Amino acid sequence: MSVQTIEWRDGAVVMLDQLRLPHEVVYQTYRDYRDVADAIRRMVIRGAPAIGIAAAMGIALGASQKEFGSYADLAKEVHVICEAMAKTRPTAVNLFWAIDRVKALLASLEGESVVTVQERLIQEGKTILEEDIAINRRIGEHGAQFVKDGDTILTHCNAGALATGGWGTATAVMRVAQEQGKKIHVLADETRPYLQGARLTVWELMQDNISVDLITDNMAGHFIKQGEVDLCIVGTDRTAANGDVANKIGTYMVALAAHANDVPFYVAAPTSSVDLSLASGDQIPIEERSAHEVIHIRDQGIAPANASARHAAFDVTPARYVTAIITENGVASPPYPFTLAPLVRKS
Ligand code: MRU
């Protein structure tokens, strides 16, 4: 089993503090939904599916952290909490998917006692977590066919257990391939500016005895061109109906290099990361974070302190550079407008 990112324990949300990895493994306990929202915003927990799980559990926490006189009072509060969660981060659609799922459950429970609704919301958070782990395992099983014995896989950011309830999406493919007895090696992009690759992916793969070399982002094109990469696998924060893929900043450059060198570029995506309401990736909201995170690495300045900087946190890779999208319900190949929606509707 992979590292545990989040769980519901004794009426509270417990999360691994990803800001302190890889140097310290510290689990924090959250008893107030506002602190869960803040943890999502500050990226204590991050990665699209993990953000969705944290939001669902945060809503359950807020719904049970005080007393309510009636279903109506509780429902009103849940909607306030949902709004707070929705404001945390804009790109990962799993956040909004989880909020909508909780709201639908709440509506279906109208007329039930406050205690029943509270219990059901807590159960929903736990169910989303359990389902996510099973979904990732299935992504791994569908994706392992693309990995051959001896392959080197390049990945970007962290689409691992730390970004999900467990197993990861891109890393599930690696885990299943390794379970099948295939020898694999991973090149992990460091993923500036937040260093999810260096801090999280390398740490996670080392925990699981998956062979990995850390590379800086600007080495990816070189190793791909040298023929040292057999395939790329990344995750996604939101994939549009036409197969355009939003993922961590820098993914687009990896996809371009892969395309130019005939290296397959796969996206591992739970169907909860596919947003069929958006026709193309142009409509995906791209988070811009603080310039401080570019000018500094962990509060250590690396540029003039008063430098001006931009910080786009995600980019969109056009569908034409994506070899296939691996979901828990099967693999979508181009043309995505015809192949992706049926897989999503199976869920
Ligand atoms: O800013 P982050 O760390 O939340 O971004 C995470 C990513 O871009 C991941 O690749 C994506 O969420 C897929 S995780 C299975």
CATH code: domain 6-137 is 1.20.120.420
Neighbours of 301 (CB within 10 A): 11
The whole-number pLDDT of residue 299 equals: 86
The whole-number pLDDT of residue 298 equals: 84
Ligand 1 atom closest to Cα of 160? 15
The whole-number pLDDT of residue 234 equals: 99
Residue nearest atom 8 of ligand 1, based on CA coordinates: 248
- Condensed to tens digits (0 to 9), the pLDDT of residues 283-316 reads 999 999 999 999 999 889 999 989 999 999 999 9
The rounded Å distance from CA 312 to ligand 1 centre is 13
Decide which of 3.40.50.10470, 2.102.10.10, 2.10.69.10, 2.60.120.370 is the CATH code for 139-345.
3.40.50.10470
Residue nearest atom 15 of ligand 1, based on CA coordinates: 159
- Condensed to tens digits (0 to 9), the pLDDT of residues 175-213 reads 999 999 999 999 999 999 999 999 999 999 999 999 999
The rounded Å distance from CA 158 to ligand 1 centre is 6
Q: What is the 3-state secondary structure (H, E, C) of 184-247?
A: CEEEEECCCCCCHHHHHHHHHHHHCCCCEEEECHHHHHHHHHCCCCCEEEECCCEEECCCCEEE
The rounded Å distance from CA 97 to ligand 1 centre is 16
The rounded Å distance from CA 313 to ligand 1 centre is 10
Is the CB of residue 38 less than 8 Å from the CB of residue 85? Answer: no
Residues with CB under 6 A from ligand 1: 46-49, 92, 157, 159, 163-164, 169, 196, 235-237, 247-248, 313
Whole-Å CA distances, 319 to 50, 61, 331, 334: 24, 38, 14, 8
Q: What percentage of residues in the chain have a pLDDT greater than 90?
A: 97
Ligand 1 atom closest to Cα of 48? 12
Q: Of 151, 140, 161, nearest to 5 (Cα)?
A: 161
Q: Collect the ranges in the chain with pLDDT lower than 70.
A: 1
* Domain boundaries for CATH 3.40.50.10470 within the chain: 139-345
**Angle CA 266–272–274, to nearest 5:** 55
Which positions are annotated as active-site residues?
237
* Domain boundaries for CATH 1.20.120.420 within the chain: 6-137
